[in-house]
Amino acid sequence: MSDTYLRYVPKTPSFEPDRAAASEAEEFARRAIAAESVASRLAASVEFVDAGANWEGVRCSKCGADAEPWWGDAMSSAAEHGFKDLTVRARCCGTQVGLDELHYGWPVAFGRFVLEAANPTTSGLSEEQLNELGRLLGCPVREIKCRV
């Protein structure tokens, strides 16, 4: 049996909420999402927050070409530097593009802070709730639906 997670990541990858904001956001998520658990974590550097088994590929945001042939190398290179710079040259069209700007089959994110609900019984937050969560944290957030 697989596990599912709803992950909420600030849209600014390096964003770090203060402790009070993180705690308030966790409490909000516990009220809004029926789940086994809700917890947050702060990584030392920016991480890639993926969709797990929901992965359905990645396309160039500039030309629309399949980016998977070069995406892995670009991710490895960016990861070596803690994802401090997400800008890469797309091999498909030669333009500069951010790894966070590519078109992923399922939403993904880059960030230090992650708020996670394990095995939720709801499908996610409404737009209004996402906005409130972002307000509590001090930065707009992305919702990532992950299956492992």
What pLDDT digit, counting tens, does each position of 16-33 carry?
999 999 999 999 999 999
At 19, phi and psi to the nearest 5?
A: -55, -45
Give the three-class secondary structure for 127.
helix
Who's near 116: CB < 8 A, 6+ residues apart? 5, 6, 7, 8, 38, 39, 40, 41
Domains of the chain: 1-51+107-148 (3.30.70), 57-104 (no CATH)
pLDDT at 147 over 90: yes
Q: What is the pTM of this model?
A: 0.94
Q: Helix 127-137 and helix 19-32: axis angle, to 10°?
A: 160
pLDDT value at position 97?
A: 97
What is the rounded average pLDDT of the residues 1-21? 95
DSSP structure class, residue 54 = T
Helix ranges (DSSP H) in the chain: 19-32, 68-80, 127-137
78 neighbors 86 (Cβ within 8 angstroms): yes
List, for residues 24-62, the tens digit of each pLDDT value.
999 999 999 999 999 999 999 999 999 999 999 999 999
